[in-house]
Structure 1
Amino acid sequence: MFIILLLCCLIIGLITFGKNWPAAPTAAGSMVMALSIFVSGIWPYMSGQSVNSLSSRLLVLGTILIWLYLLASYLTSIRRSTFYRDHLADPMRRLAIGSWATGTSVLLINVYYAFGAGWINETVHIMAVLNVVLWLFYLWSVLSGWRQLAGGSYRGRWDGSVWLPATATHSIAWMIHEVFDLADGLWVSRILIAAGMVMYVIGAWQLWRQRAKRPRTKQSYGCWNTTYVMVYGAPAIAAVTASATHAWSAARIMDAWWIILALLLVVEGREALQATNRIRNTGWRTGIGRYHTAQWTRLFTLGIFYVLTWYTLPLLQEGSLSFVLHRWMLTGGGWLLSVLFLLELTFWLIALVRHWGQPAPESDAASNTGMRVRHH
């Protein structure tokens, strides 16, 4: 029943708007990733509401609507005969398809716990199987993209999408554990987490290899991309999955938390410096007050680290320095992330309203929504 309702919404939307449906870039799936993490990890801790409370259910429904909007956009690209060009031709965009699988995984977990009963559970199980199929297709696309990137023929700009195969694989392990009641599923979680970490290393090696070949000019040092926040985001979701599935010991998870915290401070410190430079050169509005899809990636990585901090809190001795640090990060970080989510959602709605109904230009199907990854 639920699937039929979703399909009816999509059909009505596609018939109504047709080829003028606003185009979304491949990486727009990071929006669902970020909002789902907010609903499942930040909102319950900050509000004290349970995952199946009325407020949580409303937030889940809102995320479902955004997921449907993005799905309709991707299906419309098929109708425009631009799907391959928009999402598969470029190897970095191909890697960004991992945001679709990751966002769907976390969203299905939210739906399962917020509405879990009867036919909704059955629908979640069906959607989870379809998401696994999407993930398998994605892995096939990743292998093709890796060959193209390794061949040295790619001349485009690299970004943090190199770590999305790892993130998507870890999210699949998390989804399978939460949605399916596997009697002996620990080995599945461990295999998928290990496979994801191997993909993380491959992505890091490819990026390092590409940057090592680039001439060391003054300009090259400024080619830092916002999506590099996945440096700590991918290990964070691995640790969250390991904690949820009990694939790692408590000591190993705590060690991972400290390593991820160090990576976060380094990466976000550099991001803060670049944001300061942009504000100094272009002003507040242009520097940080405009919508860019890549900011959802940052909110996801910060959100998944917040969830990991929440998961590791019970492992600490009450009153210890680490315990106090965790509590401070959960309280202060929760308010900060809530404000950032509200601002980014506002920027997205403004960009969406401004460009609604405009036909997608042939040169760049994603540019008319304002939802294009910005490189710094």
Structure 2
Amino acid sequence: MIIVFYFILLGLLFIGAVFVIIRKKININTAAMAAVMAFGIVTQGVLLNFFGLSFFLGSIGKIISIADIALWMAILVSIGMTIYKGEFKKLHYINPINRFGIGTWVAGTSICGIMFCKQFGAGAEVQALAILNAGLWIIYIGISLIGFKELKDTSIGQQTHGVLLLTAVSTQSLVLLFNTVFADVPGFLNAALIFLGLLFYFISAWFILKRYAIRGWNIAKDWNNTNCIFHGALSISGLAMFKSGLVTQQAAAWFWLAVFLVFIVVEIIEIARAICRSLIYGLKEGIFTYDVTQWSRIFTFAMFFTFTFFIETPVQAVILNTGVWIILMLLIIELYLSVDSIRRKHVRIPLTSRKERSV
């Protein structure tokens, strides 16, 4: 009976989310699945690890997981509606940078598969989802390779930002999904995917750093929220290497140190940007205005927390005991901003469509 209750709840939340999307006439931003990624990693990587199995594998964990899965399903319906209306290309593909956001669809599906498996013990269903997600990843990588070429050959490459790093995140998310839902994943498959993920990371980083290597960019205007994926993509790479057994604990600890250094550098820039924006635009316009890309910050913080949980370091306890509350605070703030933006019908407009609202 209990499992029936959870599935009824899933149906109700899914219908409610779809109703809001239709009622508010919301066109889902390409990278909106970042919210699913953020909720998922906070659920499985932060809350579960910090509060423990006995606390979180009960009704609380299942309800939060169901809410996230319902959001994932609703976003998929919205994407399907754009295909039905013939708007898919305009909204999700035509802009070479924006289309990299499709990587959130792969990573979001991966985290939902992991949650469904761990919370409800699903077997064959989640394995089938993993295979379908691998197919989506192949399509996404093909699209991304075309995108990299366009960025190299056109001036739009000067607008690149951290969304390109989703090529790495999506690839490593498959490693985590496969090693959760399948009993025995071949070592060569883990190694190949992790290597590809790191390769995509360095290719993406080259494009992004090339943009910021030129003079004249402004930290308040030109530094994007998605650039925090610089350390988030490394965190999920390290976690994939560790969880798949590809590296030893000691090697993972050295990799964690590199991630930690990148985290410090990026977040110093983020703090400086927040100060500059608050001085120029004020707190509300400069910091507390909803943008779909802000979910990437929660995802990256939660992913760094999760990677840190499995790696013994001198600062592990400090990061875990303070990080959990910082992440929850950021999540609450982002939830408020997103709900308020929907209520006000004033959600940031994606690059590919200036006429329709998006979340």
- Map of 1:250-269 to 2, 5 A cutoff? 250-269=249-268
1:335 aligns with 2:325: yes
RMSD, matched Cα = 3.0
1:68 aligns with 2:73: yes
- Map of 1:78-227 to 2, 5 A cutoff? 78-116=83-121, 120-154=122-156, 157-182=159-184, 185-212=186-213, 214=214, 216-217=215-216, 219=218, 223-227=222-226
Identity %: 25
Q: Distance in 2 between matches of 1:326 and 1:59?
A: 26
Q: Which shifted more, 40-49 or 106-115?
A: 40-49
Q: Which amino acid aligns with 1:167?
A: V
Q: Which amino acid aligns with 1:354?
A: R
Q: CA deviation at 1:220?
A: 8.0
Q: Which amino acid aligns with 2:136?
A: L
Cα pair 2:68 2:112 within 8 Å, conserved:
yes
The equivalent residue for 1:36 is 40
Q: CA deviation at 1:268?
A: 0.8
TM-score by length of 1: 0.85
Q: Which amino acid aligns with 1:251?
A: Q
Q: Distance in 2 between matches of 1:25 and 1:366?
A: 13
- Residues 92-116 of structure 1 deviation map (CA, whole Å, 9 limit, x = unaligned): 1111111110111012111100000
- Structure 1 regions of 5+ residues with no counterpart? 317-321, 372-376
Q: Which amino acid aligns with 1:177?
A: N
Q: Distance in 1 between matches of 2:274 and 2:351?
A: 32
- Map of 1:198-347 to 2, 5 A cutoff? 198-212=199-213, 214=214, 216-217=215-216, 219=218, 223-313=222-312, 322=314, 325-347=315-337
The equivalent residue for 2:341 is 351
Q: Distance in 1 between matches of 2:275 and 2:142?
A: 40
Q: CA deviation at 1:363?
A: 7.1
**Count of residue pairs the alignment pairs up:** 351
Q: CA deviation at 1:206?
A: 2.2
The equivalent residue for 1:23 is 27
Q: Which amino acid aligns with 1:286?
A: E
Cα pair 1:170 1:241 within 8 Å, conserved:
yes
Q: 1:172 to 1:155 in 2, by over 3 A?
A: closer
Cα pair 2:98 2:351 within 8 Å, conserved:
no
Q: 1:8 to 1:44 in 2, by over 3 A?
A: closer
Q: Which amino acid aligns with 1:151?
A: D
Q: Distance in 2 between matches of 1:103 and 1:15?
A: 21
Cα pair 1:49 1:56 within 8 Å, conserved:
no
